[in-house]
């Protein structure tokens, strides 16, 4: 299948179906990090599937942003084919840092909205993770694209062993 046909197929999908398809594409890449995600998840009391959802959203399809020198804006996308690639592109400390920021955001939301359910706090934390702590002002702000996408991917990963 050509890349063009793959992209056209993805463009036809929307919402949860699109998120699940992207998670499916990312699954082989993320499997190498599963033990690390479990360790970090235990440390911060965050489901590894949620961590996988955030990583999948940030590094889609195994494409990683690396410094590219003086080329255009200095950033290139590198496709990880699995051949001769380092076994770890994301370190445990990077996963820990990302997860710690997420847990800080979730705790900020819990303090600001003590009557919210754990699900609402997770959603608020994810929206604040990408939009900043002041992004969430009410329960109306819990439907941000990042949050919906990450949670749809996380549910897919959970169903497939994360």
Does 58 fall in a domain? yes
Residue 159 has pLDDT above 90, yes or no: yes
Does 7 fall in a domain? no
Domain that holds residue 116: 15-159
pLDDT level of residue 6 (50, 70, 90 thresholds): low
Can you give the pLDDT at residue 62?
47
Does 28 fall in a domain? yes
pLDDT single digits (tens) 81-133: 444 444 447 889 999 999 999 999 999 999 999 999 999 999 999 999 999 88
Q: Is the separation of the CB atoms in 68 and 74 below 8 Å?
A: yes
Can you give the pLDDT at residue 11?
59
Does 145 fall in a domain? yes
Q: 122 or 16, which is more confident?
A: 122
Q: Which residues contact 4 (CB under 8 A, 6 or more apart)?
A: none
Does 5 fall in a domain? no
Count of Cβ atoms closer than 10 Å to residue 49 Cβ: 23
Q: What is the value of pTM for the model shown?
A: 0.76
Residue 150 sits in a domain of what CATH number?
Answer: 1.10.530.10
CA atoms of 56 and 66, how far apart (whole Å): 16
Lowest-pLDDT choice from 53-67, 109-123, 136-150: 53-67
pLDDT single digits (tens) 18-51: 889 889 999 998 999 999 999 999 999 999 999 9
Which tokens hold the place of 17?
């179906």
Does 92 fall in a domain? yes
CA atoms of 48 and 46, how far apart (whole Å): 6
pLDDT level of residue 15 (50, 70, 90 thresholds): confident
User: What total of structural domains would you count in the chain?
Assistant: 1
Can you give the pLDDT at residue 50?
97
Does 43 fall in a domain? yes
Which tokens hold the place of 27?
């699954």
Does 97 fall in a domain? yes
């Amino acid at each position: 299948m050509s890349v063009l046909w793959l992209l056209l197929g993805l463009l036809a999908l929307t919402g949860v179906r699109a998120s699940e398809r992207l998670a499916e594409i990312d699954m082989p890449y993320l499997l190498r990090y599963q033990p690390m995600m479990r360790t970090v998840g235990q440390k911060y009391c965050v489901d590894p599937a949620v961590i996988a959802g955030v990583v999948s959203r940030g590094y889609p399809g195994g494409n990683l942003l690396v410094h590219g020198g003086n080329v255009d804006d200095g950033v290139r996308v590198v496709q990880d084919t699995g051949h001769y690639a380092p076994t770890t592109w994301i370190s445990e400390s990077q996963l820990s840092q990302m997860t710690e920021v997420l847990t800080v955001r979730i705790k900020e939301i819990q303090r600001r909205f003590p009557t919210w359910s754990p699900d609402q706090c997770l959603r608020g934390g994810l929206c604040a993770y990408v939009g900043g702590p002041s992004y969430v002002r009410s329960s109306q702000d819990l439907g941000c694209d990042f949050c919906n996408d990450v949670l749809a991917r996380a549910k897919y990963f959970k169903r497939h062993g994360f």
